[in-house]
Amino acid sequence: MLAPETHMPAPVCLIKNTKGQLVVNPEGLTILSAIKQPVVVVAIVGLYRTGKSYLMNKLAGKDKGFSLGSTVQSHTKGIWMWCVPHPKKPGHTLVLLDTEGLGDVEKGDNQNDSWIFALAILLSSTFVYNSMGTINQQAMDQLHYVTELTNRIRSKSSPGDSQVEDSADFVSFFPAFVWTLRDFSLDLEIDGRPITADEYLEHSLQLKKGTSQKNKIFNEPRLCIRKFFPEKKCFIFDRPAHRKYLTRLEQLKEENLNPEFLEQVAEFCSYIFSHAKVKTLSGGITVNGPRLENLVLTYVDAISSGDLPCMENAVLALAQLENAAAVQKAIDHYEQQMSQKVQLPTETLLELLDLHRAIEKEAIEIFMKYSFKDVDQTFQKKLGTQLDVRRDDYCKQNMKASADYCTELLEDIFGPLEEEVKLGVFSKAGGYQLFIQRKHELQDKYDKVPRKGIQAEEMLRKYLKSKEDVADALLKTDKSLTEKEKEIEVERIKAESAEAAQQMLEEMQKKTEQMMEQKEKSYQEHVRQLTEKMERDRAQLLEEQERIIAIKLQEQERLLKEGFHNESNKLKREVQDLQREMLAFLLSHKDYKVKL
C-alpha cells in the first residue's frame, strides 16, 4: 500500500536533467520504494509549451501540481513524478511522469531529448505524445525521436543484438501509444465522411509508395509507430480558452474554459483510468514501486555510463535483487513459523520433520510467488541449501534440548537412589536385588514422563552405563547370592546390554531412513512447485508470443492491402521466425523434466 507518510501532495523530480546530465533524485526513489502495489505508469512527452502538464494534473485529479509555465521557456526539467491512488483500480497506484519539453531552444541538445524520450518509453505502460494542431509532416518530423529508438534501446544483451531491428522485440515491452492533439481546429472527415479521432490517426499513418528519399523520410516515423506500438489511440482537444487567458490556465475556473475542451479532457482522463494497463515486464511480471525504482536506476546508470539501456539486462538485474529478497522472505517465514509451532524437544524425529516439511512447503511457495527469471534455479538452490541447514540445525537443537532435559530428569529421579547407595542402604545381604528392584521402579517413573524427546533412551542408557560399577560392586559383595547366581546375573546383564545396543542401532537406522526420506520429499516438493511455475511461465510466454504474432499479422495484412509488398514480406518473415521459435520452444519442452 502507499503509506500515508509517502502520500504525495505534489509532484517531485524523479530524474534531474542538469547541464545535459541525467541524475536520479533519491527523494523520488524513496517514494517509489514505499509503493508495494502494482503501478499503472503514464508518461507524457512532447514539445515544450504544448500543455502536457495540464493534462497530467487532470489525471492526478488536481488543478495544480505539475508546473504549467506561462512563457516561451520550458518549465519542467528532467522527469517529474506524481504518485496517486488509482481512481478506478483499488489496490493500484497511478504513477504520472511529466517530461521536460522536447526541442527547447535554450537547451540545444537533441541527444538529451532523445534520452528523455527513450526513458519515457521504457518506464511507462501508457505513453502519451502531446502536440499542437494537426498530424501533418511537421508533427511527424517532430516525432523523429521514435525513429531513433533502435539506436537508443536494446532488448537483448547478446553481442549480436547491439542494434535491434526486429520490431518483435520492441512490441513485447513497448507501452500503449496515445497521441493527444491540442488546439485542433479541423473538421474530422475524409472525403466528406465523418471519422473518429482514431481513424484520423490511422489515416495519418498511411505510407507513401515509392523509393525516393522524400518518401523514405515520410514513411519512417509512421512505420516505426505502426510496428513498435501494439495499441494506438488518438484524442483531439479544442483550444481551452481565449488566447489571452492561456498564460494563466491553471487559475481559470471551469466556467471560463471552453465546455467542449472540458468534455474532451474528461473523455481523455476516463480512457486513461479505464484502459491504461499495469506496467509489466517480459513474461508478465507485474511492476510495483520498488521494481520501478530499480528500473529507473538501471536505465539511468546505463545512459550515464555511455551504454544503451537494455531491457533484458534491466530485467535480469531486477531478478537478481528480487530473487535474493524472495529467498530471504521464504527463510524469514520458515524461521517465524518454526519458532511459533515447534516445541523442543519433540517426542519423535518424525514429528519435527513433519512440521519442517509443512513449513518448508509454505516457504517454497513464498519464493515462487516473489521470484522470477531464476536462471538455472540458482536462487532456488540457495533456498534449498539454507532450508536444509536450518532443518539440520533444528534437529541438533532438538537432540540437545532432549539430552539436556533428560539429564536433569535423570538426576532428579535417580538422585535419591544415589544417596541411598552412599548411605549403604544396599550394602547387605539381598541388597543387590533390592537395588535392581529400586532401579526398575525409577526407570518406570522416568519412562512415564512425557515429551522427553528423541534422546530419552540414549540418555537413560548412558546414565545406567555410568552406574554399572555400582551395580557390579553390589553384586559381587551380596553374600545372599551363590557364585552360580552371580554368573547368571552377569550373563543376563550382558544380554540386556546387547539387546539395548541393538535397539539403539535400529533406532539410529530408523532415524537415518527418516532423514533420507525427508530429503527426498523436500527435493520432490521443490521440483513439483518449480514444474508448476515453469508451466505457468511457459503459458504466459506463449500467450505473449501469440499476441505479438497477431499484431504483426494484422499490420502485415494492412501493408499488403496498401500495396507495400516489401514491408509486408518483411513482416511475414518476422512472423515465420517467431512461429519457428515457438515451435522449437514447444518441442524442447515437450518431455522436459525439471532438475535441480
pLDDT tens track for 195-251 = 999 999 999 999 998 888 988 888 888 988 888 887 899 999 998 865 655 555 555
3-class SS letters over 426-472: CCCCCHHHHHHHHHHHHHHHHHHCCCCCCCHHHHHHHHHHHCHHHHH
Instruction: Give how far the C-alpha of residue 336 lies from the chain's centroid of Cα atoms, to the nearest Å.
Output: 22
Q: Are 222 and 119 members of one domain? A: yes
pTM: 0.78
Q: Are 90 and 142 members of one domain? A: yes
In whole angstroms, what is the distance from residue 374 CA to residue 19 CA? Answer: 39
104 near 111, Cβ under 8 Å?
no
Q: Which of 284-298, 399-413, 465-479 has the lowest mean pLDDT?
A: 465-479
Give the chain's mean pLDDT: 86
- CATH assignment of the domain containing 396: 1.20.1000.10
Over residues 493-506, mean pLDDT: 87
pLDDT at 72 over 80: no
- The continuous run of DSSP H or E covering 506 comes out as helix 483-562
Q: Are 14 and 43 members of one domain? A: yes
Band of pLDDT at residue 388, cut at 50, 70 and 90 = very high
Q: Which of 81-95, 305-319, 383-397 has the lowest mean pLDDT?
A: 305-319
Q: Are 301 and 338 members of one domain? A: no
Give a yes or no: residue 538 inside a domain: no
Band of pLDDT at residue 556, cut at 50, 70 and 90 = confident
pLDDT at 392 over 70: yes
Q: How confident is the model over 338-349, as pLDDT tens digits?
A: 999 999 999 999
Assess whether the previous peptide bond of 345 is cis (omega < 30° from 0): yes
- Cβ burial of 200 (10 Å; 0-12, 13-18, 19+) is buried
The conformational region for residue 71 under phi > 0 = left, psi -120 to 50 = alpha, else beta, is beta
Over residues 34-51, mean pLDDT: 88
For position 345, what pLDDT does the model report? 95
Over residues 129-153, mean pLDDT: 84
Q: Are 348 and 263 members of one domain? A: no
- CATH assignment of the domain containing 291: 3.40.50.300
Over residues 32-39, mean pLDDT: 94
Q: For a pLDDT cut of 90, what percent of the chain falls above it? A: 48
What are residue 15's DSSP bridge partners? 24, 79
In whole angstroms, what is the distance from residue 411 CA to residue 408 CA? Answer: 5
For position 245, what pLDDT does the model report? 55
What contacts 501, CB < 8 A, 6 or more positions away?
A: none
Instruction: Give how far the C-alpha of residue 480 lies from the chain's centroid of Cα atoms, to the nearest Å.
Output: 81
For position 205, what pLDDT does the model report? 92
For position 165, what pLDDT does the model report? 45
What is the domain range of residue 91?
A: 4-154+177-309
pLDDT at 168 over 80: no
Q: Is the dihedral of CA 304, 306, 309, 315 positive or negative?
A: negative
How do strand 12-18 and strand 21-24 relate by DSSP bridges?
antiparallel
Give a yes or no: residue 140 inside a domain: yes
Q: Are 104 and 238 members of one domain? A: yes
Give a yes or no: residue 342 inside a domain: yes
In whole angstroms, what is the distance from residue 399 CA to residue 476 CA? Answer: 37
Q: Are 261 and 396 members of one domain? A: no
In whole angstroms, what is the distance from residue 109 CA to residue 20 CA? Answer: 7
Q: How confident is the model over 434-485, as pLDDT tens digits?
A: 999 999 999 999 999 999 999 999 999 999 989 889 989 988 888 888 889 8
Give a yes or no: residue 409 inside a domain: yes
Over residues 126-151, mean pLDDT: 85
Q: Are 183 and 273 members of one domain? A: yes
Looking at per-residue pLDDT, the higher value among 335 and 259 belongs to: 335
Domain tally for the chain? Answer: 2
pLDDT at 70 over 60: no
For position 368, what pLDDT does the model report? 94
Give a yes or no: residue 360 inside a domain: yes
Band of pLDDT at residue 76, cut at 50, 70 and 90 = low
475 near 433, Cβ under 8 Å?
no
In whole angstroms, what is the distance from residue 305 CA to residue 291 CA? Answer: 21
Give a yes or no: residue 147 inside a domain: yes
* Among 526, 545, 567, residue at a domain's last position: 526
Angle (CA) 555 557 563, round 5°: 105
- Per-residue b/e over 215-254, b at no fewer than 16 CB within 10 Å? eeebbebbbbbbbbbbeebbbbbbbbeeeeebeebbeeee
Q: Are 293 and 147 members of one domain? A: yes
Give a yes or no: residue 533 inside a domain: no
569 near 500, Cβ under 8 Å?
no
3-class SS letters over 313-334: HHHHHHHHHHHHHHHHHHHHHH
Q: Are 249 and 377 members of one domain? A: no
For position 2, what pLDDT does the model report? 43
* Among 494, 526, 558, residue at a domain's last position: 526
In whole angstroms, what is the distance from residue 414 CA to residue 421 CA? Answer: 11
Q: Residue written as cell 522472505?
A: 329
Q: Which of 72-81, 133-142, 288-297 has the lowest mean pLDDT?
A: 72-81
Q: Are 294 and 442 members of one domain? A: no
For position 110, what pLDDT does the model report? 63
Give a yes or no: residue 159 inside a domain: no
φ, ψ of residue 96 to 5 degrees: the values are -105, 130
pLDDT at 253 over 70: no
Q: Are 286 and 345 members of one domain? A: no
